[in-house]
Amino acid sequence: MANWKMHKTVEEGRAFGRHLIRRLSEAGDQPPTLVVCPTLPGLWPLAREFAGTPVGVGAQNLDLGREGALTGAVSGYLLREAGAQFVIIGHSERRQVFHETDDVIGQKVAQAYQSRLRPILCVGESAQEYRQGSTLSVVERQLQALAPYVDDKMMQTLIVAYEPVWAIGTGEVPEPGQANHVAAAIREVLDRMAPGSGENVPVLYGGSVNAKNIRPFMGEKDIDGALVGGASLQVEEFLAMARNSC
Residues that bind ligand PGA (CB under 6 A): 3, 163, 168-169, 206-209, 227-231
Tell me which residue has its CB nearest to ligand PGA: 229
Do residues 183 and 230 lie in contact, with contact meaning Cβ atoms separated by under 8 Å?
A: no
- Of 85, 84, 83, 65, whose CA–CA distance to 75 is shortest? 65
Instruction: Name residues whose C-beta falls within 8 Å of residue 59's C-beta, 6 or more positions apart in sequence.
Output: 37, 40, 43, 74, 79, 84, 86, 87, 88, 117
Smallest gap from Cβ 218 to ligand PGA, in A, equals: 15
* Catalytic residue check, 7: no
Smallest gap from Cβ 209 to ligand PGA, in A, equals: 5
Instruction: Name residues whose C-beta falls within 8 Å of residue 220's C-beta, 6 or more positions apart in sequence.
Output: 176, 177, 179, 180, 183, 205
Smallest gap from Cβ 168 to ligand PGA, in A, equals: 4
Smallest gap from Cβ 44 to ligand PGA, in A, equals: 22
CB atoms within 10 A of CB 134: 15
Among candidate residues 93, 100, 140, 163, the one labeled active-site is 163
Among candidate residues 91, 100, 125, 220, the one labeled active-site is 91
Q: Which is nearer to ligand PGA, 46 or 209 (CB)?
A: 209
Q: Which is nearer to ligand PGA, 13 or 90 (CB)?
A: 90
Sign of CA dihedral 78, 16, 94, 162: positive
Q: Which is nearer to ligand PGA, 58 or 83 (CB)?
A: 58
CB atoms within 10 A of CB 21: 17
Smallest gap from Cβ 4 to ligand PGA, in A, equals: 10
Q: Which is nearer to ligand PGA, 171 or 195 (CB)?
A: 171
* Catalytic residue check, 11: no
User: For the residues of 53-104, what is the DSSP string, one character each?
Assistant: SS-EEEES--BSSSSSS-TT--BHHHHHHTT-SEEEES-HHHHHHS---HHH
Q: Which is nearer to ligand PGA, 13 or 207 (CB)?
A: 207
Query: Where in the sequence numbering do the catalytic residues fall?
Result: 91, 163
